[in-house]
Amino acid sequence: MALGDDLVTVIDVYCIGNVTKKQDVTFLNNVTEAAFVCNDEEEEILDNKILGYCMIVSVLFLIPTGLIYTALPELRDVQGKSIINFCISLAIGQGILVILKLAEYSDMDLCATRGFLTYFFIIAAFFWTNAISIQVLLNTRRPATLDYSWHEFKWYFLYSWGSPTLLTVCMAIVNFHPGKHQKPGIGLNHCWFINKSQQWYYMYSVMSLLLAANISIFIYVSLVIWRLSFSSSHLKTLKYKFVMSVRLILLMGLPWVFEMVGSLLEKHIIWSIIDVFNSLQGLLIFLLLVVFRKRVIKVMYKHGWLDCISGFVEKHLALEDDEENVVQHTDVPMSMGNRNVM
């Protein structure tokens, strides 16, 4: 069935109704039968506005996470730069999603722009998680170092921003090219994908491939860690980076996996709860990358950011070592301040 400008969607069930081309309803002789798309959508368990407000909270935590890693030079190694870009892409993607969920729209051109930008930044966030996984993989084959240069990072930058750019451009061409082929439908009748089938084809499929790649990398790294000597300082550093990366990608990937599964099943309160969890990713990422990462707390303390809670911080830092104590540096960043905390 055609919807809008050459947009074609496959419909298994349709409804028959009476229509007339005349404005005057007394012209009953002009009534004919026509096929309509049945409006049999299930009632939403959770209002989209609630998810939109949750995403606002998420963005408000992603922004300071990125700013902390940007402001502290000790955190701007290759992995740190990747985390900054990951936070930027996810924050912008969720920010535009907030607009899609909360704002009314009438201009379909602006609507299409928002839809494609949302797709681009969300997919970019997944590519950055894949880049972080690749970094952990490469760390199994070389000494543990903190590389603050841009030489290696530029390749991750090109990969993680270039791939989503290519995918988005190709999808836009398919979307607006005249014809009866299957189109995403963004900006034609909706601001987002016309149905779950198109979302699976263009979005969930890419996410699934990246998640599968990340899982494969982590299985391999797990085997490497199991085989290495437990007295190796390289192993300790690899473990820290590996565990943190696994947690980050689980936080990013699991909610989307559940959303993919939920899209194939009937609506249920469980999927609504998972949607809320997915919408609050920024809060959970802030806890993982800032609050519960000792290296970040240590650097913030050295710069005097946590003087008001210095007693608590010192007790927290004294509990155990972190990756900063066992890693080597390839390039020393600017001064870390006048406080020396071990």
pLDDT in tens, the chain (342 residues): 444 445 555 555 556 655 555 554 444 455 566 665 554 445 567 788 899 999 999 999 999 999 999 999 999 999 999 999 999 999 999 999 999 889 887 788 899 999 999 999 999 999 999 999 999 898 887 665 666 778 889 999 999 999 999 999 999 999 999 888 889 999 887 889 988 899 999 999 999 999 999 999 999 988 888 877 555 666 777 788 888 888 888 888 888 888 888 888 888 888 888 888 889 999 999 999 999 998 999 999 999 999 999 888 888 787 655 555 545 444 434 333 444 433
Same domain? 129 vs 277? yes
- Residue 172 counted as domain residue: yes
Same domain? 55 vs 28? no
Same domain? 56 vs 30? no
| Residue ranges of E strands in the chain | 2-3, 7-8, 15-19, 32-36, 145-146, 328-329
Same domain? 194 vs 256? yes
Same domain? 267 vs 295? yes
Same domain? 287 vs 321? yes
| pLDDT of amino acid 103 | 85
Q: Structural domain tally of the chain?
A: 2
| pLDDT of amino acid 325 | 53
| pLDDT of amino acid 296 | 94
* Rounded Cα distance, 43 and 142, in Å: 54
Same domain? 137 vs 52? yes
| pLDDT of amino acid 39 | 47
| pLDDT of amino acid 289 | 94
Residues of the domain holding 16: 2-36
How many residues does this entry show for the chain? 342
- Residue 340 counted as domain residue: no
Stated pTM of the model: 0.81
- Residue 335 counted as domain residue: no
Distance, first Cα to last Cα, the chain: 68
Query: Which letter does DSSP use for residue 182 in this model?
Result: B
- Residue 339 counted as domain residue: no
| pLDDT of amino acid 329 | 46
Same domain? 106 vs 7? no
Same domain? 30 vs 131? no
Same domain? 130 vs 240? yes
Nearest alpha-carbon partner for 175 in 90, 261, 111: 111
Same domain? 11 vs 95? no
- Residue 336 counted as domain residue: no
- Residue 341 counted as domain residue: no
> The domain spanning residue 210 has which CATH number?
1.20.1070.10
Packing angle, helices 233-263 and 205-227, rounded to 10: 150
